[in-house]
């Protein structure tokens, strides 16, 4: 993954094979790639829809697209360790398993494989975590970046990494309702974080905009009307006369929050269709030009801390 002066836009694949079908995923990849972007995020257990028949389906869709289009310059991030897509904590992060995963994704994606991440690590055992880092160190020696996602004890990982010195990319949940950034304080100091869940599970400002395929609904969440009202009031009171385009959606505010947050190397976006992706890319281009920086410090926050 590149380290630019601003966070890179990363295409998410968590819903591919679930609410986003193969053809739509192909269209998203086509548009994203043709727009000049290259970083795509995946995980062994995507989609996490509790359908065993869909285990690894998202990665299969991505691999098929790269083969069909003969693409070899993606920067694919793969999160590994989970043993099913049932939302269970079951995982295998042993050195041997991680090396098998590295070989598997190296064969599946070839030169498109950019980063191998430990996923959903709830361990407290420093020795076991050190063994995982031995595998990540081997991956880095082979030119594959190392990373973390969903780590319960970042302080232990930071302690272990003192002996390895890996330049880790770290995915964190980071949005207007909740952020894990402070939990990862031992890793602060570099632009190493990738924000996911920036839309807080898929918040929409109007109830009627939720459908049976909305990510918040299919994941079992409930619309937060109190926060939606807060955001609507914020937008109504905001003086937007100096902006290049009016702010009208929660996604725009979420992107402002992520783009101007300190320490971020990437923003993970998971659009469900071309129109949503096109809007995201267009707004991201405005942020790169410096627009809406004044909004960052006054954004409405939720009550979850």
All structural domains of the chain: 8-294 (3.20.20.100)
Distinct helix (H) and strand (E) counts, the chain: 10, 8
Is pLDDT above 60 for 303? Answer: no
The 3 state secondary structure assigned to 17-78 is: CCCECHHHHHHHHHHHHHCCCCEEEEECCCCCCCCHHHCCHHHHHHHHHHHHHCCCCCEEEE
Q: Is the pLDDT of residue 44 over 60?
A: yes
pLDDT at 172: 98
**CA angle at residue 15 from 216 to 271, to 5 degrees?**
75
Taking alpha carbons only, the member of 295, 303, 299, 283 closest to residue 231 is: 299
Residue 270 has pLDDT above 90, yes or no: yes
Q: Rounded distance, CA 205 to CA 300, Å?
A: 13
Is residue 71 predicted with pLDDT exceeding 70? yes
Residue 40 clears pLDDT 80, i.e. is over it: yes
3 pLDDT more than 80: no
Residue 222, pLDDT score: 73
> Would the pLDDT of 4 be above 90?
no
Which carries the bigger pLDDT value, residue 189 or residue 207? 189
Least confident span in 147-151, 172-176, 219-223: 219-223
The answer to whether 27 and 274 have CB atoms below 8 angstroms apart is yes
For residue 209, the model assigns a pLDDT of 64
Alpha carbons 64 and 62: distance in angstroms, whole number: 5
pLDDT band per the 50, 70, 90 thresholds, residue 305: very low
Q: Average per-residue pLDDT in the chain?
A: 94
pLDDT at 169 (0 to 100): 98
Q: What is the CA radius of gyration of the chain?
A: 19
Average pLDDT (40-49) is 97
Q: What confidence category does residue 113 fall into, taking pLDDT thresholds of 50, 70 and 90?
A: very high
Mean pLDDT over 206-222 rounds to 68
Question: What is the per-residue pLDDT for 224?
Answer: 79
Q: What are phi and psi of 78, to 5 degrees?
A: -120, 125
Average pLDDT on 172-177 reads 96
Please give the DSSP secondary-structure letter assigned to residue 189. Answer: T
As a whole number, mean pLDDT of residues 100-118 equals: 98
C-beta of residue 112 within 8 angstroms of C-beta of residue 72: yes
**Where is pLDDT greater, at 99 or 305?**
99
| Listed residue (112, 85, 77, 79) closest to 98, CA to CA | 79
Q: Do 202 and 214 contact (CB within 8 A), yes or no?
A: yes
């Amino acid at each position: 993954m590149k380290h630019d002066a601003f966070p890179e836009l990363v295409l998410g694949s968590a819903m591919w094979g679930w609410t986003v079908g193969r053809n739509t995923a192909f269209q998203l990849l086509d548009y994203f790639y043709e727009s000049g972007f290259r970083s795509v995020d995946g995980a062994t257990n995507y989609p996490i829809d509790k359908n065993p028949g869909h285990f690894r389906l998202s990665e299969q869709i991505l691999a098929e697209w790269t083969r069909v289009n003969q693409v070899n310059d993606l920067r694919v991030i793969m999160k590994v360790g989970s043993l099913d897509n049932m939302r269970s904590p079951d995982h295998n992060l042993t050195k041997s398993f991680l090396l098998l995963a590295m070989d598997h994704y190296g064969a599946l994606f070839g030169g498109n494989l950019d980063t191998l991440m430990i996923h959903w690590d709830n361990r407290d055992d420093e020795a076991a975590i050190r063994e995982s880092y031995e595998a990540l160190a081997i991956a880095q020696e082979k030119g594959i970046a190392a990373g973390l996602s969903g780590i319960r004890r970042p302080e232990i990982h930071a302690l272990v990494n003192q002996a390895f010195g890996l330049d880790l990319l770290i995915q964190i949940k980071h949005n207007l309702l909740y952020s894990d950034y402070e939990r990862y304080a031992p890793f602060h100091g570099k632009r190493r974080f990738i924000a996911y869940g920036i839309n807080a599970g898929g918040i929409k400002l109007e109830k009627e905009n939720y459908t049976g395929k909305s990510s918040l609904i299919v994941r079992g969440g409930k619309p937060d009307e109190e926060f939606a009202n807060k955001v609507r009031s914020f937008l109504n009171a905001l003086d937007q006369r100096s902006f290049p385009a009016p702010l009208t959606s929660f996604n725009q505010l979420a992107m402002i929050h992520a783009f101007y947050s300190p320490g971020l190397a990437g923003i993970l976006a998971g659009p469900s269709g071309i129109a949503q992706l096109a809007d995201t890319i267009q707004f991201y281009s405005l942020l790169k030009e410096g627009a809406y920086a004044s909004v960052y410090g006054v954004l409405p926050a939720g009550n979850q801390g």
